[in-house]
Structure 1
Amino acid sequence: MRRAVLSVLLSLALPLGAWAQTTVEAGGVKFDTTTEVAGQKLLLNGAGVRYRAIFKVYSVGFYLKAKADTPDGVIKQEGAKRVMLKMLRDVDGKELGKAFTDGMRKNAVADERAKTINGIFKFGEIFNDMKRANSGSTIGVDWIPGTGAQVVVDGKAVGEPIKEIEFYNALLRIWLGDQPADEDLKELLLGKEKRHSGRQR
């Protein structure tokens, strides 16, 4: 009895932070609720699963300095950012790269389009060289102020940083644009509950 009472008292004495959620699950993948990019602490804004028809393709999470629940709030926010994907199935590298570049072009903003061309080309080349994105592999794209967008595959930097912020904005619009990859996923990445029952192709 004494041990039980002591256990309860000790648990009540723990700081509030000890009870805070430290991970969020999406498609069987756990995303840390905080991370660090270029010395800046970032918060998990939202996470979800990208489906193609009925198949899970990857889980993705967005990290920002401060949470935002609108596309403009995410895209226009200053500071470091991170897009983190974890593959849930094997996908041909060229096919994945084409899906990303098509999504960027489809959602491009007219006055930024010219400044995205260089970055979209370099990004596509990275996936062409990758050959295959295997299930379980991680693909991150960090926005580092003053440096650019750095692609990181399984913890290793790949390629040179892409300097144009317009490229990174276009990348975010794959999931947050007017024609997003998946409407449900868009809501989840904005930290909201999904509203739609259908799946985007």
Structure 2
Amino acid sequence: MINPTDGPRVGAWRRAALGFCLAAALSATGVTAAQAATLEGQQFDDTVVLGQHKLQLNGLGLRGVAWLKAFVAGLYVTTPSRDAAALLAETGPRRLRLKIMLQAPSNELTKSLLRRVKRHETPEVQARLADRLALFAQQLDGLGQLMPGDVVDMDYLPGKGLVLSRNGKAAGKPVVGDDLYRAVLQIFVGEHAIDPRMKQGLLGAPA
């Protein structure tokens, strides 16, 4: 027999039981809560859908200098790997997502991109990329002032090219060529990556 004075406790027990049953039902039907990975308070879904493709989170890396934290980057691929060469050789869909943590003009990203390409790509590659790289740099500059909380995506879609977006809004038309996307991705996970710690994180290395 239930004592009327136990009402609040019984109500709490019933809510807990209901929650347990709901969780069990969801599990039985294959529905689970969204998974997410977090770095420096920035949350990334374990999977995203790009076009018709489901991509998996390969890793997360922080870009920072001294005590300044610029952004957390997340790399999404079809088949996760810790091998940078394999990721760079991939020609399928990919997403490089930056979650901005510091107010700064987007042309700082542009200058870094152009500087790294000039320093580490061969003259032949630079000549082949020149026009398309200039177009992408123009799009990147066009993002203007980046603010904490902004999300910048650099997507590659086979047959379309590199698509830049800010907070889900495309910054321009796709720029063709997986070689261009590879040049961009090399800055993050290539042999001469701009930040070795960020590179290791994006490659899924243990913290």
**TM-score of the superposition, structure 2-length normalised?**
0.82
**2:152 maps to what in 1?**
139
Alignment of 1:1-201 (within 5 A): 14-15=27-28, 22-108=35-121, 112-194=125-207
Equivalent pair of 1:141/1:151 in contact (CA under 8 Å): yes
- 1:193 and 1:109 map into 2 onto residues whose CA distance is 33
Partner SS state of residue 131, structure 2: helix
Equivalent pair of 1:107/1:173 in contact (CA under 8 Å): no
**2:3 maps to what in 1?**
none
**2:8 maps to what in 1?**
none
Per-residue deviation, 1:32: 0.4
Which 5+ residue runs of structure 1 have no aligned equivalent? 195-201
User: Letter of the aligned partner of 1:88 in structure 2?
Assistant: M
The 1:20–1:9 alpha-carbon spacing in structure 2 relative to 1, beyond 3 Å, is closer
- 2:71 and 2:48 map into 1 onto residues whose CA distance is 20
Equivalent pair of 2:117/2:126 in contact (CA under 8 Å): no
The 1:57–1:16 alpha-carbon spacing in structure 2 relative to 1, beyond 3 Å, is farther
The 1:5–1:32 alpha-carbon spacing in structure 2 relative to 1, beyond 3 Å, is closer
- 1:45 and 1:16 map into 2 onto residues whose CA distance is 27
Partner SS state of residue 82, structure 1: strand
User: Letter of the aligned partner of 1:23 in structure 2?
Assistant: A
* Aligned CA-pair RMSD: 2.6
- 1:124 and 1:104 map into 2 onto residues whose CA distance is 12
Partner SS state of residue 38, structure 2: strand
- 1:111 and 1:18 map into 2 onto residues whose CA distance is 50
Structure 1 window deviating more from structure 2 (16-25 vs 65-74): it is: 16-25
Which 5+ residue runs of structure 2 have no aligned equivalent? 1-12
Equivalent pair of 1:47/1:62 in contact (CA under 8 Å): yes
